[in-house]
Structure formats: structure tokens, C-alpha cells
């Protein structure tokens, strides 16, 4: 006998809040450094048609102990780092950075006719990887596979994704921390998307329109943390877009200070000492 699917229901709703970062860049932010979204730490949404809200960008700054994933809806971002990487991503593209022991980089926004709209996601590295070698990769829109179902589609940035009918794709970013998986889902009016989703951590961030998840409404700017089960059922009456995040918790202590995320405060102190002494990226 085939078991009936266990629909995942909303466990909690987290609303993004306005913040600033870099050189005065206005963002909408969700951060959970308490482990509630482990292995995910933070999600920033950059979205404005006013250049003054983002034109200062993010001048050179350090990171240690995390991965970052930046995804652009429209506009663009130019990345440069101390390792010599220089790359510009535009609508539909993504860039991934494994900071490991340390990386110093800058991100400068670009605009198009609609301004700038994009996301940056922070994923926590496991303790064994926090002092590993830094790496960088960009991924173009054409490299990202898609799934389609009943007035909806899913763009796979990373990880494995399967519809209820068994259609499956794997995103090109295959080394996301915590077995991470990230996708961009788009639902037309009356669209539906049903996915196999058994990862312990599962969350949906709505950034346009409104979704129904197991009968409960989620509006733009809200992140839904899903409870246990094996099936994610999304629908929308008037159309919506969202990011879907899945992963496996590390279950390790989290110590956070600015751009550094380690396991213990003495490791944060060491990161600060290394940065001040010039040995941060050695």
C-alpha cells in the first residue's frame, strides 16, 4: 500500500523588517541566528526603483564561517574579491561564495529600467568547514533547470527538486551548506505547485502576491517555516512568486558578530584579531 502524502503545514510566520547595510543600502531582512532556520541564517531582499536606496552598494568587507547566495530578479550586482574573482550577474543569474576561513569582497549594484530587485541568503557552515578554503562561483540563468506544473514553474538554483508526479531536477549549486536547496517558484493566477519535500528545514519566502500553504495565507514579505511532513503544496488565487528553502540543520552552537559566524565567541574574537592584524585570509 502506498502511504498518503503528509502535507507540511505552517509552523510559524516571520515578517521581514526594514534595515540598512553596506553604504546605506535599504533592505528588507529576516535573520535567525538562534538556529530556528538552521542551516539558513539570514535572507535580505533588495528591491527599489530609487537608486539612492542602493547605489552606495557594499564596499570591501570580510566574511568568515558562512556561504552567501545572491540571486537577481532584475538589475544586477558586480562582485570582486581578494582572490581575484570579478563577475557581474544580471536578471535570473546567481553568485555563490563559500567564505570558509576568510574572504574580502565588494558587491556593487547595477540598475535596469525597473531598478534593482534581488536577494542574498546566508547559509551557516558546519564547524568542520568554517576554516576551509574560500571559493566563488557564478551561475547563469540558462544553467538553472525548471519544473512546470498546473500554471506554475520552479527554477532550481541548487539542490534536488521533485514534483508530486515524479518530475525531478537538480540545481547547479550542488555544494550548498547543510545539504541546502534553493528554488524560485512562480505561480500564475489559480496556479498550483506540489513538491516532494522531506528536508527537516523547509521555508517559503513570498516576495510578490500571496500564496496559500495548506490552506493558510502567506503574503509578500512573510517567510513561512513549515512543520514536519513530506509534501509542500503551494497555490495562489491571483499569482505569486516565492523562494523555497530546504536543508538539514547542523545542530551546532552559533556565535555571530557582523560578517562573522562561528560556533563560539572566542572564534569570533580570533576572526577580529586576524582581520585587524592582516592575517585574515592567510
**Angle, CA 241 vertex, CA 105 and CA 25 arms, to 5°:** 35
Q: 202-205 — which CB contacts under 8 Å span 24+ positions? A: 202/8, 202/226, 202/232, 202/244, 202/245, 202/246, 203/37, 203/40, 203/244, 203/245, 203/246, 204/232, 204/234, 204/242, 204/243, 204/244, 204/245, 205/16, 205/30, 205/43, 205/45, 205/242, 205/243, 205/245
pLDDT in tens, the chain (282 residues): 445 679 999 999 999 999 887 666 788 999 999 999 999 999 999 986 666 666 667 889 999 999 999 999 999 999 999 999 999 999 999 999 999 999 999 998 887 777 889 999 999 999 999 999 999 999 999 999 999 998 999 999 999 999 988 999 999 999 999 999 999 999 999 999 999 999 999 999 999 999 999 989 999 999 999 999 999 999 999 999 999 999 999 999 999 999 999 999 999 999 999 999 999 988
Domains of the chain, start order: 10-267 (2.60.120.10)
Q: What is d(CA 92, CA 49) in angstroms, rounded to the nearest whole number? A: 18
Amino acid at each position: 500500500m502506498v502511504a498518503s502524502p503528509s502535507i507540511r503545514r505552517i509552523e510559524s510566520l516571520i515578517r521581514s523588517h526594514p534595515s540598512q547595510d553596506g553604504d546605506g543600502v535599504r533592505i528588507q531582512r529576516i535573520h535567525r541566528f538562534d538556529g530556528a532556520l538552521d542551516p539558513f541564517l539570514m535572507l535580505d531582499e533588495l528591491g527599489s526603483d530609487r537608486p539612492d536606496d542602493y547605489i552606495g552598494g557594499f564596499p570591501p568587507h570580510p566574511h568568515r564561517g558562512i556561504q552567501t547566495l545572491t540571486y537577481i530578479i532584475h538589475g544586477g550586482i558586480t562582485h570582486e574579491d581578494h582572490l581575484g574573482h570579478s563577475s557581474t550577474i544580471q536578471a535570473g543569474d546567481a553568485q555563490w561564495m563559500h567564505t570558509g576561513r576568510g574572504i574580502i569582497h565588494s558587491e556593487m549594484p547595477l540598475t535596469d529600467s525597473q531598478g534593482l530587485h534581488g536577494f542574498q541568503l546566508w547559509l551557516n557552515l558546519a564547524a568542520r568547514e568554517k576554516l576551509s578554503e574560500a571559493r566563488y562561483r557564478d551561475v547563469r540563468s540558462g544553467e538553472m533547470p525548471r519544473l512546470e506544473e498546473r500554471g506554475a514553474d520552479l527554477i532550481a538554483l541548487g539542490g534536488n527538486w521533485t514534483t508530486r508526479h515524479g518530475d525531478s531536477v537538480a540545481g547547479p549549486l550542488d555544494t550548498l551548506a547543510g545539504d541546502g536547496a534553493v528554488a524560485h517558484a512562480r505561480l500564475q493566477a489559480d496556479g498550483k505547485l506540489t513538491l516532494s519535500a522531506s528536508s527537516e528545514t523547509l521555508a517559503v519566502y513570498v516576495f510578490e502576491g500571496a500564496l496559500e500553504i495548506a490552506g493558510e495565507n502567506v503574503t509578500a514579505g512573510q517567510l513561512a517555516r513549515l512543520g514536519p511532513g513530506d509534501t509542500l503544496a503551494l497555490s495562489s488565487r491571483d499569482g505569486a512568486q516565492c523562494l523555497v528553502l530546504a536543508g538539514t540543520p547542523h545542530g551546532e552552537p552559533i556565535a555571530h558578530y557582523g560578517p562573522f559566524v562561528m560556533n563560539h565567541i572566542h572564534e569570533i574574537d580570533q576572526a577580529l584579531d586576524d582581520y585587524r592584524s592582516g592575517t585574515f585570509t592567510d
